[in-house]
Structure 1
């Protein structure tokens, strides 16, 4: 609840700052007012997200938390990077801008949601600035770490139109005066610093500066939702997303362009000697190999030092495994103790043929390969199976939907 209280404080401070902006002389229509409106919206949305999460945890209860933690092995976390967000504008709106028929400057920014503690704002852009082609282009580089494979990242687009006022470079706005600095310096401050400066000043203002509801009245931001969209794992290869909830008279075309990069932070590593069953001239033979499991690739060499000096003799792609889990071989098929089976499938090649380890299905154009690897002890076998299945789970959860 401390985070909720912190955001509530910002809401009160932003509201108090905006309540003094009643005319041009006192900051109405200034860049400071727009920034305060933006900070008010960000704090409000963060507070709402935290309250919703608090209610969810209350409804879940301690038993529900225990049940979630007792579920089976969970896949690893990952990282999602969002860059180059572009909001294409309507042609008729751009024409009106060029002709000077838009009664004010439109300000845009986005909020990116990933859970209650991750409400990230982008930079703010205005039509008063140079427009990149036909789009508002946000150059932010946003990185979301430690996300689940079932992530649901929401992007909300907000807009506010501010009427143009005559510039007055010789006079500070009232809001800037409250901060004790010229207006252009305001937007370079962190929100916390802005509000600290505001509350640190003498609050005894003349009645002319007070709003009808008083200077401490809490208000809503004048930024309006212009659309929202969601990004999930199955969407990471897309570059364009349709916006929902777009108002009819919105200056936006109705979609957003985004550059997305996603990868899983698997971190699966295992090294050690294993004895591998291989086809040598049509005969089965066991060879001792130095094996390294890194993420979902099991590479093997003859000696440990070869790992640094040579390319691997071969690589088993765990992602090609066709069984639900990797486990031991039935003793009916292999009498060697502590033997693990990885059954893999790949597309057929022209020179493929049936062998001791390969089975060719020409009808379905696939080759099923039987990899048998034997550990020296029961403990090592258990450890290798656990790591191989962890790699398999990670890959399936992060790749199946992608």
Structure 2
């Protein structure tokens, strides 16, 4: 299963939201983003390190319920936007080490400081799990519906292929709350997970 299309992906830079037009490729277990279609073609044709690397990727094996849905208005008011959440287990020290603070449990200030809080990443109270929100905007309602079907089909296939993994992820997700700030400076370093 491969789908290719230009879509607008929400990202952040220094704690500020940025919508970026990207060339998106859906494969069996990941959604990969390039800046331009030519970058993906160049990367596929070349094995050299100078080929354009993807600017980001979403590992579908980490997506949790409700899988891919139309973004609720309280999360995003932009029309035709898809919403997904992913979870990843992390080393708590990784989330807490920042250039401006290194004390365990210290939250990233949101205003009036060098360190801003991420708007896409939140951590569990013990800093062992991180939730990332994903917002992807289609050009039309029909395209959004098509992508919702394709993404949920890919997630369904993965769930049938890895039932224990998704059951464990669902158990973790049901018992966690994501209330802790994560420094926005970490968001750019974590784009490839």
Aligned pairs for 1:230-379 (under 5 A) are 268-309=1-42, 310-349=52-91, 350-352=93-95, 354-363=117-126, 365-379=128-142
Q: CA deviation at 1:322?
A: 1.1
CA contact (8 A) 1:348 1:360 kept: no
| Separation (CA, whole Å) in 2 of partners of 1:284 and 1:293 | 23
Of 377, 381, 390, the match for 2:144: 381
How many equivalent residue pairs? 135
CA contact (8 A) 2:82 2:148 kept: yes
| 1:166-190 deviation digits (Å, cap 9, x = unpaired) | xxxxxxxxxxxxxxxxxxxxxxxxx
TM-score by length of 2: 0.66
Query: Match of 2:173?
Result: none
| Separation (CA, whole Å) in 1 of partners of 2:95 and 2:140 | 35
The answer to which structure, 1 or 2, has the higher relative contact order (CA under 8 A, 6+ apart) is: 2
| Separation (CA, whole Å) in 2 of partners of 1:333 and 1:358 | 13
SS at match of 2:148: helix
1:395 partnered with 2:138: no
| 1:237-283 deviation digits (Å, cap 9, x = unpaired) | xxxxxxxxxxxxxxxxxxxxxxxxxxxxxxx2211011111111111
| Separation (CA, whole Å) in 1 of partners of 2:161 and 2:94 | 33
Structure 1 residue ranges, 4+ long, deviating more than 6 angstroms after superposition: none
Structure 2, unpaired ranges of 5+? 43-51, 97-116, 166-193
SS at match of 2:152: helix
Greater C-alpha radius of gyration: 1
TM-score by length of 1: 0.32
Structure 1, unpaired ranges of 5+? 1-267
